[in-house]
Every structure is written in C-alpha cells, then in structure tokens.
Structure 1
Amino acid sequence: MRIRRARRPERRLTGPAWWFVAGYGLSAVGTGLCYPFLAIYLHQFRGLSAGATAVLLLVLAGAAVPMSVYGGSLVDRHSPRAVAIGALLVQAIGWLALAAGSGYGAELLALLVIGVGTGLFLPAVIPIIARLSPTDEIKVRTMSLRYLLLNVGLGLGAGLGGLVLDPATDARYRWLFAADGVSCALYAVLIAALVRLPADTDRPVREGARPVRFRPGLNFALLLLAQLLLVTFGLAQMESGVPLAIRGELAGSTTLVGGLYTIATLVVLAGQLPVSRWVERVHKTRALITMGLAWAGAWLLGYAAGALTGGPRVALLVVMTVTFALGECAYSPAFYTLVEKLAPAGTLGRSSGAAWATFQVGNTIGPPVAVYLVGSAVPFWLVLSAAATAAAALVLVVDRRMHATPAPAFALR
C-alpha cells in the first residue's frame, strides 16, 4: 500500500501580494533617504533651535497616532486599497511641499501633512495583506517579507542618502525630500494598477451601511498592552537607550555601537524568512511569548556585560544583539497575524489602526524613557528585561484564553 506524504502548506505569495510588498520596499527606500537626516537638516541647515526642531518632529510623529485610528475607521467603511492609495498621495504632497517650501510655518504644515498621510496608510496594510493571502501560511510569509523589505529599503535609502549628502547642501536635502515624495506617488500608482483585491472585498459591504461597532475584547486589549511594552522597552530602546547605555554605563566606543547595529540588521535580513517558517508552524501567541522571553534574556546579557571587560564584554553584547534580532524577526508575522485573528468581525481596519497607534505611542515615548533610565540610578537592563517578561506574561494570558476548553454542560434530569 502506497503511503501518501502530507502536502506541504502553500506559502507562495499571490501576484498582487508580491507587488504590494515590493512597493512597500520601494517606499521604504524613499523613507530611508529622508528620516535619518531630517533632524540634522532642520537643526543644522535651517538653524532651528533644538526645541523648535523637537516640536516639528513631534508634530510628524504625533499626527500619525490619531490618524491611524481615523484611518482604521475609513478602512472599515471603504476599500482598504482606496484608503492606501489616498494616504500615499497625501504623503507625497507633504514631502514635495517640504522640498519646495521655506520657513517654519511651511515646514510645520508639510510635516503635519506627512504625519497625516502616514497615519492613514498604516491601518490599510494588515487588511490588504489579509485579503491577498488565501492561507495563514501565506499571510505570515507576506508579513515577514514586508518587514524584510522594509529593513532592506531603509538601509539602502540611508546609505544612498549619506552618499548624496557628501557634501551636504540645502539643495541636496530638498532633492531627497522630493525623491521620497515621488516614491510614495509611485507606490500609489503601483497599488492602483497591480494590487487588485478580491471583487467581493474591494468595496463596502453595502452602500450606506452602518459600520459594526468596535468592541475589542479582553484578549485584544491585553495584546495591545503587550505591544506597548515590547515597543517602548524593546524596539525603541534598541535604537535609543541601548546605544546610550553602551556608551555611558559600559564605556563602549561609537565603533562598537555601530558594529552592533550592523550585526542586528544583518541578522534580521538573514533570519527573517527562516524565523517566519517557524512562526507558521506554531501558534502565534506562543511565538510572541518566546520572543518576549528571548528579549528578556538578551537584556540580562547586557546587564551581565557590565561585570566584564574587554573581549568578553564585547562578545556578550554581540550575543545579546543577535538574540534580540532573532526575536525581532518573529514580531511582525506573529503580532499582526494575531491582530487579524482577534479583530472583531467587520472591524479589522479599526483594530489595525489601534495596533499601529499603539506602536507609534511606544516608539515616541521610548527615547525619552531611555534618556531617563540611563541617566538615573534605575538598573536600565533589568527594567528592560522585566518589561519583556511582563509582555510575555500578558500574551500567555491571551494564549490560555484562546485555548481554553469550554466546561461541559450537564443537563438536569
């Protein structure tokens, strides 16, 4: 008797999904051209004070938070594809206005428009990927590729921007801003031409229909709280608090900081797809729990590095960085798949908007929190480890609730 092998789960992306994530990478190149150099341009080239520069950057980041919530409502009422196209065009207008304008008022308005467009776009990402993915395996893979191409695009853009700005002039900065605007417009055209959603989901369910009321359950609320901890005391710290702690507390060089950042980037690029295959095979809550515990262990390695010197200290910091980066590879495919699973029916746009708004809040408050922790007597590494452990515990509660077996009903006779 011939034994048939179990069919491997289909992981090939659909054509529209490929175009969507490829366009995401293209847009990320434009983002990388500008974001790393924006504060330098405003403060050094425009001569704005540190306070005025901070206000402009807060407007950019702050506008995205409420607009993510509003954008989620638009996605639930209309086509997420239409919302994404409109939001990208808004971003394009903002970057082109920044390239052409002069004066504090013009820059304030341009950055406000960019923040609005960014906030409107983000809630459309998960619904589009969900509708373009016939299976959970394809959904996980698509989200992993999106995150991979995001990192590749940001890295390429930053490197190219650094080359263009050597030497730096006002005109060259403005050309970079214009290039980012063009990348957003091209992405909008690509979505309009090549990213078609299934016919029954590319429009509102019924013209004039009232949207389903958004009532997130306890599982979803706990997931967002875990995300806030992971972003504020994890992702945001890797880019702000960790370099500060290595330079100050551990007396590390800028070369060491740059080397560790490069290692983290390379690990994400090499490990994203292999880790995503593992995420496909396990429940997404358990992938997030493992990620949280891995981060908690990574931060403990940072704490232990303080007791060492020389080569052993550097080696421990490298292991910490690799561990953190491997955990980061699980974040996007596991977390955003859970957002889609836990979103109440008819509210995926608003659920996605709430998730992106939470991410923006954590990413905004993370750097000030880092400055406070590193400059105080609070044990920086232990706080980060405790936060990662707490996030894993919250997701564990969600896991237990999702896998709870209903109590059997006994009939009275």
Structure 2
Amino acid sequence: MALHRLVPRLPRQVWLVLGGDAVSALGSGLTLPFLLVYLHQVQGIELAVAGPILSTIAVMGLVGNPLGGLLTDRFGPRWPATAGLVVAAAGTAGMIVVQSAWQGFLAAAVYGLGVAITEPSFQTILGTSVPAERRSQVFAARHAVFNVGLGAGSLLAAFTVSFSEPRTFVVIYLLDAGTFIAFAVLLGLTADTRAEAPDTPAPASTPAAGGGYREVLSDRVLLRICVCVAAVFACGYAQHYSAYPVFATQVGGLDASELQLTFVANTLTVVLAQLLVLRLLAGRRRSRGFALSAGLMAAAWAAVPVAALLGGGTAGATGFVVVMTVFAVGETLMSPTVPALVNDLASDSTRGRYNGAYTLAGTLGQVVGPAMAGVALAGGHGAAFFVVLALVLGLVTVEMLRLERRLPPPVNLVSAPRARSSSG
C-alpha cells in the first residue's frame, strides 16, 4: 500500500502543530533517558534520593492534569498549553544548576507541572482541529510523529552525551528547554487549527463557563474508561521502563546493547505500523481497538517469562524483541481509539476537563506502576509479576467489550482516513 494513502489528510495548520510537538518530543528524548544518571553520576545526588526526584515529575501530574483541563474549559486550550510549555522549559533548564537534592526536587516539580498542564490542553487542541469523525486520524498521527521525535532525540543524545564532560548535559538540557519554547511560540502564533475544518464542532478555543469536575465525574462511562486507562498505564506503559528492563537484564540475561535493541524494535514498530493500523481500524469500533490494545500488551507481558527462559544470547534477545514488537502494536491501537473516544463523549464546554480526567488516569498509572514493580522485583517475584500484569490487562479487554454497548455508535466508530492530497 502506497505511503501517501496511509497518511491522513489533515489541515496544514494541524501538521504544523504536530511538527512542533515532534520537535518538543525530540528535546524530551535528549534528556529523560539520562535524568537519573545525570543526577547521580554528574551532580553527585545519591540514588536513593535521585529516584524520588524522577518520580516527582509524574506526581506533579496529579495536580497539573486536572488544572490544565480546568484552565482549558475556562480560557480555551491554546494559552494553557503555551503557558505549560514555558513552565516545562523553566524546569528542564533548572536541571542545569541542580547541585543539591532540594534543587532537584524543585526543578523536577516545575518541569512535571508544566508538562502536565500542557497535555490536556494539547489533547483538546487536537480534538477540535478536525471534524469529530476524523479525530482518530489526528491522534494516530500525533502518536507516530511524537515517537519519531522521541527516537531522534534519543539517537542524538547517544552521540552528544559524555559522562566525563558535564558540559554536554548543559547542552542537551538547554536544547530541551529550547524545544519547549519553540513549540510555545508556535502555538501562540499559529492561526486557529479549525481554520481549514469548518465542519468542526463548536470552538473549544472560545472560553467556556465551565465549572469544576463534579459534572465530568458524574459520567459513569467516562469513569469506567478512565479506570481502564489507569490500569493500562500502570500495568502496561509504566512497566515498559521500570519492570521490563530490570527483569530482561537481571533474569533474561540481556546486556545493555541487546536491551537497547529491543527498545529500538519497539519505537520502529510504532512509527512504521501506526498509520497502517489506523487504516485497518477504519469502520471498526474504538472500544474493540482499545480492548485489542490491552490484549496485545497482556500477551507481550505473558511472553516475558518465556523469553527469559531462552537465556542470553541471540535466542533470548530475539524473544525480547518479539515481546517489545507485540507491545508496540498494542500501543498503536490505543492512540487512535481512546483519546478520540474521550473527546467525542465530551461536550464543547467540558472537553478540557474530560481530557484532564483522561490524562490524570494515565498519570495515576505512571505513578503506581513503578512502585508495584519495585516491590515485586525486590522480592524476587518478577516472573509472577508479569503474569499478574497480563491478567489485569486481560480484565481491561473484557471490561471494554462489556462497555461498548453503553457507547453510542457514532462515538464508537473509527472513520476511514482520507489520504493526503499532494497539496497537503
């Protein structure tokens, strides 16, 4: 199938905004993989303290996600998103001058708050940038280009960072801050992303007289979706960078290069498969896409103990590459289904808070997941832990299949993507 037929036909302004998001992701790819070792090896902060500093970024989402959703409904999405990016830039730039634990906690808190405020606002910008039937396309495109940026940043960092030269860390943190500022300027100056989509629903960029979260939390369908999202993030995404690398190296026998190879396989699969998966989902129910996403993640984690039995070397590395490839396909099924579903369930006056609730559910999972992994792995229960993770993700699959009869068909359907024309 020709590539141009897979790329969704989105307005030029939307592709510009997605490009800014990719540049911001490049900056994050430069710094986040090295944050823990930077704090410990370069700045001399003990690991017992550096770990909680890193966790502070996720914890701030518990405040920033609902705040970002509330500000979006009050003032429209562009200015909270822009302000959040500026705050995040201040936080990542602050890492340059960290010399003590309290400074590390402060910089991480500022960075985490900024990112957390931005996310529900940006989800709302994307959700209102196209007509409702094309929301799956824009969220799928976002996931693909974001991973391109993240992967490019990680690759660039590999050629830039040297632990023997602390100034290289100054460079990457300044670059990261610069990407946030560049994206903030782009959002502030870019014309309304609804300009080329006149059939988009009522403008969410117009300030709404939204109240608190009581109205949003009375939506039981949304709450059930958020519980499933929290479970997928806690048992799926959070384990991707917590339990999985520890188990794969300590029990599975992978060395550092083999472990990196599995992560490369994951990223490449996401980038190459995302738009194809969007095409295959056309005309199908979003709830079933989410259910299959959780099911594939469950299959991946169930296969982890099996891959570990293969031992180190080529056989073991191949087994773990398969694990991360299957997990990546599960990721590509979630991105065009759940965010679009949440935005379609929302009204124009509650869309920011709906996105705030959705992103908060993911944040809760990211906070809880690594803590669960630490307890299980410290107790020597790694293989059993991955089996439990698979069982929980299997329950999410069942719950989403049960929930789909509560979802109106127009809300639950992935529309066929229209390919981009040569003019954009």
TM-score per shorter chain, which class? Answer: 0.7 to 0.9
Distance in 2, matches of 1:214 and 1:402, equals: 16
Displacement of 1:403: 5.6
What does residue 142 of structure 1 align with? 138
Displacement of 1:347: 1.4
Q: Is the 8 A contact 1:216 1:344 kept in 2?
A: no
What does residue 193 of structure 1 align with? 189
What does residue 362 of structure 1 align with? 365
Q: Is the 8 A contact 2:96 2:173 kept in 1?
A: yes
Displacement of 1:10: 11
Which residue identity does 1:250 align to in structure 2?
A: G
Distance in 1, matches of 2:54 and 2:325, equals: 30
1:279-326 deviation per Cα after TM superposition (whole angstroms, max 9, x unaligned)? 333111011111222222233333444555676655444333322211
Which residue identity does 2:126 align to in structure 1?
A: I
Moved over 6 A (4+): none
After superposition, residues 153-168 of structure 1 pair within 5 angstroms as 153-166=149-162, 168=164
What does residue 413 of structure 2 align with? none
Distance in 2, matches of 1:283 and 1:228, equals: 21
Where do 5+ consecutive residues of structure 2 fail to align?
A: 196-202, 410-424
Higher radius of gyration, 1 or 2: 1
What does residue 22 of structure 1 align with? 19
What's the secondary structure of 1:133's corresponding residue? coil
What does residue 398 of structure 1 align with? 403
Question: 1:284–1:113: structure 2 CA closer, same or farther, 3 Å change rule?
Answer: same
Between 173-182 and 72-81, report the one with greater CA deviation.
173-182
Question: 1:255–1:17: structure 2 CA closer, same or farther, 3 Å change rule?
Answer: same
Question: 1:167–1:210: structure 2 CA closer, same or farther, 3 Å change rule?
Answer: closer
Distance in 2, matches of 1:351 and 1:32, equals: 28
Between 294-303 and 35-44, report the one with greater CA deviation.
294-303
Displacement of 1:203: 2.1
Question: 1:215–1:160: structure 2 CA closer, same or farther, 3 Å change rule?
Answer: same
After superposition, residues 234-253 of structure 1 pair within 5 angstroms as 234-253=236-255
Q: Is the 8 A contact 1:216 1:343 kept in 2?
A: no
Aligned pair 1:125/2:122, yes or no?
yes
What's the secondary structure of 1:232's corresponding residue? helix
Displacement of 1:177: 1.4
Distance in 2, matches of 1:260 and 1:145, equals: 23
Q: Is the 8 A contact 1:20 1:195 kept in 2?
A: no
What does residue 222 of structure 2 align with? 220
What does residue 94 of structure 2 align with? 97
Q: Is the 8 A contact 1:140 1:280 kept in 2?
A: no
Question: 1:201–1:123: structure 2 CA closer, same or farther, 3 Å change rule?
Answer: closer
| Corresponding residue to 1:291 among 277, 290, 293 | 293
Displacement of 1:270: 0.8
Between 114-123 and 343-352, report the one with greater CA deviation.
343-352
Give the TM-score, by structure 2 length: 0.85
Distance in 2, matches of 1:371 and 1:55, equals: 13
Displacement of 1:164: 1.7
What does residue 349 of structure 2 align with? 346
What's the secondary structure of 1:333's corresponding residue? coil
What does residue 415 of structure 2 align with? none
Which residue identity does 1:129 align to in structure 2?
A: L
User: How many pairs are equivalent?
Assistant: 394
After superposition, residues 98-113 of structure 1 pair within 5 angstroms as 98-100=95-97, 102-113=99-110
What's the secondary structure of 1:281's corresponding residue? coil
What's the secondary structure of 2:251's corresponding residue? coil
What does residue 372 of structure 1 align with? 375
| Corresponding residue to 2:178 among 158, 177, 182 | 182
Displacement of 1:73: 0.5
Distance in 2, matches of 1:175 and 1:197, equals: 33
What does residue 408 of structure 1 align with? none
What does residue 57 of structure 2 align with? 60
1:56-114 deviation per Cα after TM superposition (whole angstroms, max 9, x unaligned)? 22322211221111111111111101111111111122223333565444433222211
Distance in 2, matches of 1:94 and 1:308, equals: 43
